[in-house]
Structure 1
């Protein structure tokens, strides 16, 4: 075994020209491992349309060199024409690079079992190296709703993995119920780039504190709420959140909220509802924003609010803590593993499907609490930083390699 482990990540989801934000949490996992190991990434990306479209995407960012903390690694987006079944195109794209390799990895981490899992496991077994499956997918929580043929493929991949790393203990339990005979299981959480997600720098004008710095020093009342998600109403329950917050906004004219994310088509109905409630200008939907803009919003708001129906452990919670702000969330998935029930030093965990009354009572307590930016950030750095997660994965890899 080489002094520095050679790690080949195979990702079912990864940001690309087809889906710019799909699997951005996987991208951060890769970056975390890259701080401790030598890394390469293969991400099969099915493309619908002409062969010419595939060629253009390959030319644009099919192969990309990335750098994190002084470590350079290669990302290969394996753009290919979409096929039916999907597994065929994915397998061909992986084989196109695997058959030409002039090196052998020490470990093959697989991110999300379907659709890249079968190809990743097959090549890893051919090379005689272990497979570590990192799973993020909420579908295990309702596995019976997954088509039978996909369930069969997923079960085969999970059973053949040498170790499984779900991002929460809740997901571990859901996977164990869905797939019997899993190997080693190690819970490793999602990653936050704490070098980017951090409290705002001190703002002064002629030596006088201004902006967020002034609000913080003056102990300003909590007035600015933030929500960051895909805005998928079925999962994130945006409608329920708006209905719960509306009485608070009508009772307190100083409250304002930003909803960040989601495609514009998903937002029109919510904007219409806000206008009908007379809250236009106070509840604003930004649409999708880049990471730097999300960071700025977290730095200039007082609390992150989530009202999801199902989750694993959303990255945005840890990102909020890294920026020094508390979180209010419903109790779903693995959130309770880091945010205790009721009021705590990291925020407030409400019951699942909480209604207006529960949100109002929670908000009263949150608004009367003094929040400690340093404590919130310290928790994020200890549990979710690239250093912490990279070290956790390296320990898993070394354990498999003996």
Structure 2
């Protein structure tokens, strides 16, 4: 898009590491997208409870120079803050000269950006800024978030709903929504090989967020309407729901629990499914819905947060939050409809969520922020 190749410093509150391998993986995908057009250095600091001295890793991961400092545990909060600040300061020095900072998750990494002399933009994903959850924000986060958003050249929430909620919190700034990335070369459609109607749910399986109990109740009721179907539950520690599954009377032959899957295995499971189901209490964007679209898989989801902003009406069905009757009805309707528009769904994702699309969007903002 531009002949000028910039050096972008990704300054991250969240980022995948050996301690938390999936933490902020969507941020990593943003960094990898930007790296197709610019030089990117991603930095992150995290406490590692299993070490006795600090360690810094310096690796090239998918085209991104990745600097992560692992800090030994520190019980005193004051020392912990000093250690984190010192570690970030050293990583910034290791990164070398750069053109612009790209903050990911504005608090606390944005505080470090405020102390630098370079312009910065900030991307935000945090569900904690949504109305029902923002009551839990600390005074310090509210205070510094206002400072950070005011100073940033651009604030880039992943949905308009998140932008609206951030503005309600008084986080004023120059907003530009840029969604999350879908790897459209990894997530692509193919014809279904299974004749059994297959539903899949992929998430952290956190019940307070993803409403797994609600999904299981609906799966139990689905047995009364559809005799032959399969439900695949993908996510960490699904065994925590075994007792609930037995109590509800869900037939074991209809259920497959995979545990947590490597990211590159998820498309395989999506492609052999007919629909993805999501029944969350809240979401800012939902990467997995767009990954399903890219695989040509239709979606039945609760209508929460920013989901409907990127949800064409012929790609599935949205139902009211917590409405189990509507959720069940939508699943049955999708089975009867059996509508397949694989390539249309994939092309939609290329247009709005591909690496090229997202890299182009960020490049425009980088150049504007630098007044180039």
TM-score by length of 2: 0.92
Q: Does 1:74 align with 2:43?
A: no
Aligned partners of 1:371 and 1:365: how far apart in 2?
14
Q: Does 1:195 align with 2:164?
A: no
- Deviation track 1:186-232 (CA, whole Å, cap 9, x = no partner) reads 100000111111124x7xxxxxxxxx34x5xxxx57x1000000001
- Tell me if structure 1 keeps the 8 A contact 2:149–2:171: no
SS in 2 for 1:181: coil
Q: Using a 3 Å threshold, how does the CA distance of structure 1 residues 310 and 253 change in structure 2: closer, same or farther?
A: same
Stretch deviating more after TM superposition (243-252 or 80-89): 80-89
Give the alignment of 1:3-402 within 5 angstroms. Answer: 3-52=4-53, 54-55=54-55, 58=56, 62-67=57-62, 72-83=63-74, 84-85=77-78, 86-100=80-94, 102-103=96-97, 105-123=98-116, 125=117, 129-141=118-130, 142-182=133-173, 184-200=174-190, 212-213=192-193, 215=194, 220=195, 223-262=197-236, 264=237, 267-276=238-247, 277-339=249-311, 344-355=313-324, 357-369=325-337, 370-402=339-371
Distance apart, 1:162 and its partner CA: 1.7
- Tell me if structure 1 keeps the 8 A contact 2:67–2:91: no
Unmatched 5+ stretches in structure 1: 203-211
- Tell me if structure 1 keeps the 8 A contact 2:31–2:64: no
TM-score by length of 1: 0.85
Aligned residues: 363
Cα RMSD of the aligned pairs, angstroms, is: 1.9
- Tell me if structure 1 keeps the 8 A contact 2:101–2:120: yes
- Tell me if structure 1 keeps the 8 A contact 2:300–2:327: no
Distance apart, 1:383 and its partner CA: 0.8
Distance apart, 1:2 and its partner CA: 8.3
Distance apart, 1:278 and its partner CA: 4.1
Distance apart, 1:336 and its partner CA: 0.9
| Deviating 4+ runs (over 6 angstroms) | none
